[in-house]
Structure 1
């Protein structure tokens, strides 16, 4: 039963991605993704590897693991393209599954980033307490759960129905959107809330604590920008994939056109792949164009 299901899925994947219009769309995405994301991920991994003896923030650790997972996704998309070009169903199946699983699971790192920034801004006392009493262990357990989810989905991908996989993808995407939206609104509320001594009078900000009051606000703004950027790319991804899947499943398009619509959805995954690495390079001062205003 499972062997027949695997065979049917492999033939379906090969038939869709081997059709000339859809294969051109996915090949264009793979080339773009490889040329842009592969160097970006390698740059992040190389930079963090050189700093491995220094303490890393939770954001850096999340970005490090996501960059490593992105390498698997890039390899999967390359295998999918090569399998489609060579008419190799197994290679296409393995590559497409690897790419699809990475696309789904990496959103968990987006959620962890949002939750970490939310705790740091909205619950700073709890955040400091966790940081001093085993916060690294909690972070490592969360990262381990992400990789466990990746391994579990890798084992189940071939056995599960393709529709179930799509439902799982959208459920994960909706969950990531809900988490990022909640964290973004909570941080925005904390940012708009006056800090200690803000309403104490005209001369309240002239004392020794005047400079200290600006630093928490700056941290809140940075946290809000990080969470808002993640939420924006996730919303773009959700909207784009929903439109493409609706067109492919509506029956209004033919077989080849439906494959093109389904394959076009992968382009909306690009921004969500770049947001954490670019934010990391921005924090590390490797994007001088974006640092000019801060100077």
Structure 2
């Protein structure tokens, strides 16, 4: 969606919209692109019950544990999951505003939708990174991880969560003000996080393969296997996003003189963000014992 905010270098459009930071409405809102936006809206509508269910489970837990429990006693990974769910809801509203702005030809409403998407894109990626780092510490550095579960670690986590939101908003502001192109932010953010995910995956895998003190390779701790599975699932979805973003960025640079293709490629690449929205909510419900298959709970 943010890719559409950057004006393609088409000389025919410069004369009509050279003073506007938004793309022209006609080539970027054809019937095909409209169908893509509608299909994405339908996908978001199908995901909405999942997000609302996670929020409901969290709300019930919040009422039971107390008002300050999310900031004091809840686990790091649960807090990260709740933040990702709120970001996904943010993205749903962003898609709606973008579609509404395109239909009504209100560039300010369209830009508001793109801004919401930008906060979601950066924030979700960073929270996935924090989740992988949390699992990495739990397996590879258990002593340090136990310290992080104390009050000092909880305070550090709360500050980190606030910083992620601030960084996401700052990145979005830089893109909106055209200080930094979105493609650069996209490449830097996804490249850094992808390397971090690979490092975490390999480190946890080595910790599982090694026998370690007091245990053999045949008696691997199941919690560490689950930690590895979590990291691998997140890594897989983020690599899918990384590859699709890189391919779409290359194709958009090649087709930058053709606004229709430029916008069509940008909207098509948004589909590859959907799997990453499923990971943490489903893993959260699995930990809470809320997932059922044929009437049996998955634990």
TM-score calculated relative to the size of structure 2: 0.84
After superposition, the Cα gap between the structure-2 partners of 1:172 and 1:45, relative to the gap in structure 1 and judged at 3 Å, is same
SS in 1 for 2:188: helix
Cα distance, 1:134 vs. partner?
1.2
2:234: which partner in 1? 230
- The match for 1:192 among 193, 209, 223 is 209
RMSD after superposition: 2.6
Would you say how many aligned residue pairs link Structure 1 and Structure 2? 275
Residues 18-42 of structure 1 show CA distances to partners (whole Å, capped at 9, x for unaligned) of 2332232122112212x13322221
Distance 2:18 2:159 in 1: 33
SS in 2 for 1:233: helix
The answer to whether the 8 A contact 1:184-1:224 is kept is yes
Distance 1:249 1:24 in 2: 23
After superposition, the Cα gap between the structure-2 partners of 1:169 and 1:26, relative to the gap in structure 1 and judged at 3 Å, is same
- Aligned pairs for 1:1-295 within 5 A: 8-10=20-22, 12=23, 14-15=25-26, 17-33=28-44, 35-52=45-62, 53-54=64-65, 55-161=73-179, 164-198=181-215, 214=219, 217-251=221-255, 254-289=258-293
The answer to whether the 8 A contact 2:80-2:131 is kept is yes
Distance 1:6 1:176 in 2: 35
Residues 151-198 of structure 1 show CA distances to partners (whole Å, capped at 9, x for unaligned) of 32343332125x612211221111221111111110000011113333
Distance 1:291 1:50 in 2: 22
Distance 1:16 1:107 in 2: 30
Cα distance, 1:294 vs. partner?
6.5
The answer to whether the 8 A contact 2:255-2:261 is kept is no
Distance 2:106 2:157 in 1: 40
1:209: which partner in 2? none
After superposition, the Cα gap between the structure-2 partners of 1:16 and 1:265, relative to the gap in structure 1 and judged at 3 Å, is farther
Cα distance, 1:93 vs. partner?
1.3
Cα distance, 1:109 vs. partner?
0.3
Distance 1:7 1:89 in 2: 12
Distance 1:37 1:74 in 2: 10
Q: Which runs of 5+ in 1 are unaligned?
A: 200-204, 206-212
Residues 225-279 of structure 1 show CA distances to partners (whole Å, capped at 9, x for unaligned) of 0000000000011111222222222139833122211210100000111111111
Distance 1:291 1:68 in 2: 29
Distance 1:220 1:97 in 2: 38
SS in 2 for 1:286: coil
TM-score calculated relative to the size of structure 1: 0.85
After superposition, the Cα gap between the structure-2 partners of 1:253 and 1:20, relative to the gap in structure 1 and judged at 3 Å, is farther
SS in 2 for 1:93: helix
